[in-house]
A = this chain, B = another copy of it.
Amino acid sequence: MWSGIMASMEITVDDVKFLRSCVDAIVNLIEEGTLELGSDAMGVRAMDASQIAMVVFSAPKSAFAGYKVSGSEKVGVNFADLSKILGRGRSKDKLIIKRKENKLELEFRGKGSKRHFSLPLLEDAGGGQKEPKVEHDALVKIRGGEFKEMLRDVALVSSHLTMEAKGKEFMVSAKGDSAEMSAVSEKGEKKEFEVDAKKEARATFPLQYLDDIAKACPDDELMSIHLRSNKPVKLDYKIGKAGLTYYLAPRIEDE
């Protein structure tokens, strides 16, 4: 680990809440991972422990009040611990993040008080996986809040759901032991909803993963869902200037 010598960093955050939302969007899927710091952006690419889902996070330099990273640096971080520390930020605090040898130093500066946390860096926290390439047949754009409501409907009946796009319709359905459900969103009346299906697309996914993926999406934010029959779905949305992309493998049922 010579990176302490190779590079230095100092990141200033005015809106601690923004950074916490980003870290939560990662931590919902993976607990530990590698933060890649480039001179123009910060990013994370990681598979979840079960290798079923992947998260790709990227925030440009401009998302921060200050961003000084010379060269490129990789720091292994426990995102769960980092999220808890960010949760201690107060509304008017300024946050300065530095690396000091094998620690990540976080300093909250408020009126008449300074609070300082230091977090050990992890060696070999994994990460850096390649994104899967799938040509999708259908693209659905739906508000985060709307999609999360659909997932709550599903939760009443099953732990799996089927997503389907055809024509101008996007449908979520599930079948449980004691009840069944289906929810259809239709293009037309709602402005913030789009379906573009070159071909009918339909696949089945575990509910828990979609919950974890959608959780951090702001309710008003548009989420894009890229579907292809029985292929991994790609979901992406923005948190402020940062982008989150998720891939989730389908459940292939025997026929």
Contact = CB atoms under 8 A, between A and B. Distances in A.
A91 interface: no
A184 interface: yes
A198 interface: no
B116 A183 contact: yes
A130 to B, nearest CB: 30
A253 B81 CA distance: 27
Given A88-B156, A190-B112, A81 B178 contact: yes
Interface in A106-129: 111-120
B181 A117 contact: yes
A193 B114 contact: no
A157 B179 CA distance: 41
Interface string A73-110: 00000100100110010100000000000000000000
A186 B112 contact: yes
Interface residues of A, number: 36
Interface in A172-231: 178-190, 193
Nearest to A156: B84
Interface string A139-169: 0000000100100110011000000000000
A186 B185 CA distance: 56
Contact of A120 (B85, B152, B179): B179
Interface of A: 78, 81, 84-85, 88, 90, 111-120, 146, 149, 152-153, 156-157, 178-190, 193
Given A111-B190, A113-B185, A119-B179, 10 more contacts: A88-B152, A111-B189, A113-B190, A114-B183, A115-B183, A116-B183, A117-B156, A117-B157, A117-B181, A118-B179
